[in-house]
A and B are shown apart, each in its own frame.
Chain A
C-alpha cells in the first residue's frame, strides 16, 4: 500500500511539471527568431500578401491567446493543426513516437546487455590486460560524438562491407521483423554507445568493490565456488545500482536518439522535431516537446518503482 501511495503522489506531481514545460516550450518557441509563413513565402510574396496568409492561420493573435488556444487544442483537437502539414500534430507525432520508442528500446537493450557484459568482463579480470583494453575502449568511446560515430558506422558497415542498410526502417519493397532488426543495428548501437560505456564503467566498479568486500573474502575462505559467489551474491548486490544508472542513462539515450535519427534517417520524433524547427512549425514543435517531456517523467517514475521493488531498504526513506 505504501508503494501505491508513493506512486500516486509522484503522478500528481507530474501535473505542475507539465504545465511549466508547456509554458516554457510555448514561450521559447515564440521568442526564437523565424516565422513559418515568412519561411515559405519570403521570395514569392509581398509583405501585404504574407500578412494575409498569417491572418488565415491566426498568427496575428496576441501570444497569450495563442497559448490558451493551443492548450485547448492539446486536449480537444489532437494538439492543433501543424502549420506545414495542415493536419493534427498528434496524428503526425504518434507514429513517429512509436518509431522512436522502437529505437530507444533497442538502444536500451544494447546498452544493458553489452554495458553489463563489458563491465563484468573487465571487473572480473580486474588489473589484467583484458581489463585495461576494455577500459581504453570505454575511455575513447565515451568521448566520441554520436553524430560522427553514426556516420563512421554507415561508412564501414553499410557502404564498404554492405552488411547493413544505411537509412530508414525498411528496405525497398521489404518489411518484416528481420528487415527491421537489420535496420536497427547501426542506429541502436550509435544511440546506446555513450550510455553503454557509462554503464560498463559502473558495473566494473561495482564488481571490483564487491569483490574486495569482507563478505566475499569470507565466502572465498569457506571455499564457495567462485561462480556462485559472483552469480548469487555480487550479482544481486550490484543489480540495484545498475537499474538506477540505466534509468538515468535512458535520459541521455533519448537525447542522443535525436541525433541518431538524423544520421540514420530514422522516421522518429527527433526527425519530426528537426523538420518542424527548420520550418518553424510552432504547433508541431510544442506538441513534440510536451510528448518527450512526458516520456522523461514516465521513465523516471518507472525507474523509481523498479528500484523500490529491488531494494527494500529504500522504501522507508
Chain B
C-alpha cells in the first residue's frame, strides 16, 4: 500500500506540473453539423446543471426543467427551432391554425386530429378544456391551486374558455392578448398540454411521477438528484425522432459536468464556462455558437438614493465598455447587448442603443450629481458567486470613472433574497433572464425594476402608458413597433443596464450531429442523431 500511496503522491506532483489533458479525440475542433446521413437509434445522455422541478406541465420553472419536459408535453403552438437568428417563427403544434377577433380578446384554435396521449387516450378539445380547467376553473374537481397562480402571467385575464366542437377551442380574455400564440409557444408558464386522464386517476400531486403528454418522448423513470430517462414515443404524430432514448443526468458541479463530457459519459452539457470553450474545441468537442434568449443585465437598487438620480444611472451606463467586458471576461464568446429587447426577443432591434461608451461624459454627469475624487460614488455590487469574474471586472472597470464599489458575493439562495430585498447601500446586482416574447418587457419593469424601489406609475408614467399601449396593439407590425417604443423610454430613463447575451452555452460530444442552438432558451432533440 505504501508504494501505492507514494505513486499517488508522485501523480499529484505530475498533475501539478501540468501538461495538456488528452481525454477526447483531437480532430482539431471540427464542429461539423448535420453532415452525412442521419442514423436512427441510440441513447443521448445530457448533463444538466440544475435539478429540474416536478415534471408537471403546469408547475414548471427554470429552463433546465423545460428542456426536459418539452419532450413529453407539447403546446398548441410551436416554434421553428432550426432558426438560429431569431425571433423564431411560430409553427403549428397541437393546433394547426389559430386566429383572433379584431381586438385580440377571443382566440380560436383549430386542433390537430389523430393525436393521442402516451397512454393512447385521444387529444381533442375536451382534453384541452380539462387542461384549461385544471389551472383556471375552481369548480373543477382537479383544479390545481399550485398551478393557477403560476399561469396568471398569461391566463390572468381569461374570462371564458369553451369547446366549440371536437377540434375547435376558444379562449376569451377580458383584455387584448395579441401576444398569446407566442406566449403559448414559449410554453413553460403558459399551457403545455398534459393528459387529464392521468391526473384524474392519480391526483394532481402524483401526476409528476408519471407524467403523460403527447410529445415525441415518453417518461420512463426519474431518480431525483440523479437522472430522468425518456424513451421514443412510437405513436408520435409528427416526424419520428432519431434517438431511441434520452437520459438527462443532473450534474451541478461545473468541473464534473465538463469532465463527464470529456470522458464520454455524457454527450451534451449546458452552461459551459467561458474559460472551458478553448480546451473543449481543442479536443474535438463542439461548442456551437448562437444567441440564446437569456441575457445578463444589471438591476439597479432604487432604494439607494444615489441611484434615484438619473444622471448617476446614466453615468454607470456611459462608463461601461461592454465590448471590452465581452473580450476580457468571455474571451470574445458573448455578444454585448444595449437593450432589454435582446437578440432572442421577437422585438429585438439591432440598432437600439442605450448609451455608447463615453467615460468623459460619465465623469461629467457624476460631477453634476455631486460626486468627485474627495466624495466618490460608492455602493455595493451584489452577486451570485457564479458571476464572480463578471463582478470583479465591473468593480475595477468602474474605478476608471471614479466609482468605488464593494463586492458581496453570495450563494444562490442568499443572493436571490438580497436581490429582491436589497440593503440601502447596494448599487446593483447581476441578473439573468429574458423572454422571447415582447411582453417580457412588462415583466422586466414590473418585477426587476418596480420591486427594487422604482415607483413606475409616478416616476415614469409615460413608460407605463407606452407598455399599456403596446399590450393592446393587435396589428402585428404595430405591436412590435410599440414595444420597441416602450423599450426606448426604458433605455432613456437608464432603468437597467443590459450587459451581454451568451454566444457559447452548450457543448457536444464529437459524434453528436444535428443539434441546433435556436434563438431561444431551449433546443429540439428530435433532429439530433449520433454518428458511430
Write the residues of chain A forming the contact surface with B, with a CB cutoff of 8 angstroms.
Answer: 32-35, 38-47, 49-50, 52-53, 55-57, 81, 84-87, 92, 95-96, 114, 117-118, 121-122, 130, 133-134, 137, 140-141, 151-152, 154-156, 158-160, 162, 165-169, 171-173, 262-265, 267-268, 271-272, 274-275, 277-280
Contacts and interface: CB of A to CB of B under 8 A. Distances in A.
B448 interface: yes
Given A44-B447, A49-B149, A168-B249, A160 B1 contact: no
A87 B208 contact: yes
Contact of B256 (A81, A167, A280): A167
B433 A279 contact: no
Contacts of A151: 255
Nearest to B267: A172
B225 interface: yes
Interface in B192-232: 205-206, 208-209, 223-227
6 contacts: A33-B417, A34-B417, A40-B61, A47-B451, A122-B2, A158-B263
Contacts of B418: 33
Contacts of B412: 34, 39, 278
Contacts of A33: 413-414, 417-418
Nearest to A159: B23
B62 A40 contact: yes
Contact of A267 (B12, B189, B223, B414): B223
B166 interface: no
B51 A275 contact: yes
A175 to B, nearest CB: 13
Interface in B15-61: 15, 21-23, 43, 45, 50-51, 53-54, 56, 59, 61
Contacts of B45: 172
A35 B59 CA distance: 17
B224 A43 contact: no
Given A38-B417, A137-B6, A272 B265 contact: no
Contacts of A158: 259, 263
A272 B447 contact: no
B420 A42 contact: yes
Given A160-B22, A166-B256, A40 B225 contact: no
A271 B251 CA distance: 9
A214 B383 CA distance: 64
Contact of B1 (A41, A87, A121, A262): A121
Given A55-B149, A85-B54, A158-B259, 15 more contacts: A33-B417, A33-B418, A39-B412, A42-B419, A45-B149, A86-B54, A86-B208, A87-B54, A141-B5, A156-B14, A156-B15, A158-B263, A159-B263, A172-B45, A275-B252
Contact of B417 (A35, A44, A166, A274): A35
Given A44-B447, A277-B413, A262 B252 contact: yes
A271 B262 CA distance: 22
Contacts, number: 204
Say which size band chain B's interface belongs to: 35 or more
Contact of A45 (B11, B21, B152, B413): B152
A43 B433 contact: yes
A84 to B, nearest CB: 5
B331 interface: no
Given A56-B146, A96-B225, A280 B413 contact: yes
B124 to A, nearest CB: 27
Contacts of A272: 224-225
B122 interface: no
Interface of B: 1-2, 5-6, 9, 11-12, 14-15, 21-23, 43, 45, 50-51, 53-54, 56, 59, 61-62, 145-146, 148-150, 152-153, 156, 189, 205-206, 208-209, 223-227, 249-253, 255-257, 259-260, 262-263, 265, 411-414, 416-420, 431, 433, 435, 443, 446-448, 450-451
Given A47-B451, A85-B53, A117-B1, A57 B225 contact: no
Given A34-B417, A35-B416, A159-B23, A165 B265 contact: yes
B149 A52 contact: yes
Given A86-B205, A96-B225, A263-B253, A166 B416 contact: no
Contacts of B223: 95, 267
B253 A262 contact: yes
B448 A43 contact: yes
A32 B150 contact: no
Nearest to B432: A43
Nearest to A267: B226
Contacts of A118: 1-2, 5
A301 to B, nearest CB: 28
A41 B12 CA distance: 45
Contact of B265 (A55, A56, A166): A166
A209 B61 CA distance: 62
B431 A43 contact: yes
B150 A53 contact: yes
A33 to B, nearest CB: 3
A171 B22 contact: no
Given A57-B146, A158-B259, A267-B225, A86 B2 contact: no
Contact of B225 (A86, A92, A172): A92
B226 A168 contact: yes
B451 A265 contact: no
A209 B23 CA distance: 48
A162 B265 CA distance: 12
B5 A134 contact: yes
Most B CB atoms within 10 A — which of A42, A47, A117, A264? A42
Most A CB atoms within 10 A — which of B1, B224, B257, B262? B224
A85 B447 contact: no
Nearest to B419: A42
A223 B181 CA distance: 94
